[in-house]
Structure 1
């Protein structure tokens, strides 16, 4: 994945230059770059980029847009990857509620978010609790 990162970075730069910061394709490209950072284990770059992408998606596309829901799910996944289940689980729950309301219970995105939430809760249950 690390070899792909420069290509993702160039794609984001080109999308910003040609389409603008707020174009939906630019937002998708930024989300994909954050995913590449996450896959490479670079959460210090992935999480802020996901957070920015979610903020921009909410502003540009709205809370309920499928791309916004996907970006929020991805941000929750990055929190989970960083071991921050206290941020990941509530975000997964919010995304799941929105997905069920907007897309329906059987939509593939809804099912992915449900599986992610289930996994995060499983991880939380098996981690040692502080007294």
Structure 2
């Protein structure tokens, strides 16, 4: 499901990607737990899908949540954590300059 959601996202089929990503997150939370690295990757992916749809506030909010969990679980130096921090900073600056 996660791979198909990624394919939809790459094709610009945002709604289809979002639907699957939500299912993937819920399944991973239930099976692996909310703090599992795979669950965090799914949260990150959904944040990017929101951003691609110009749903900036939702994207920023979800990425903030994801980043906090990444810092706790993976550590601040982990590549996924650093990547999320970089994206979040860019999105917040863009949101200030361009507006929601």
> TM-score of the superposition, structure 2-length normalised?
0.94
> TM-score of the superposition, structure 1-length normalised?
0.72
Moved over 3 A (4+): none
**1:109 — aligned with what?**
80
Q: Structure 1 unaligned segments of length 5 or more: list them.
A: 1-29
Q: Deviations over 1:69-89 (max 9, x none)?
A: 000000000000000011110
1:55 aligns with 2:9: no
Q: Distance in 1 between matches of 2:97 and 2:3?
A: 30
Q: Structure 2 unaligned segments of length 5 or more: list them.
A: none
**1:32 — aligned with what?**
3
Larger radius of gyration: 1
**2:60 — aligned with what?**
89
Aligned length: 100
Say which structure, 1 or 2, has more relative contact order (CA 8 Å, 6+ apart): 2
Pairwise CA RMSD: 1.1
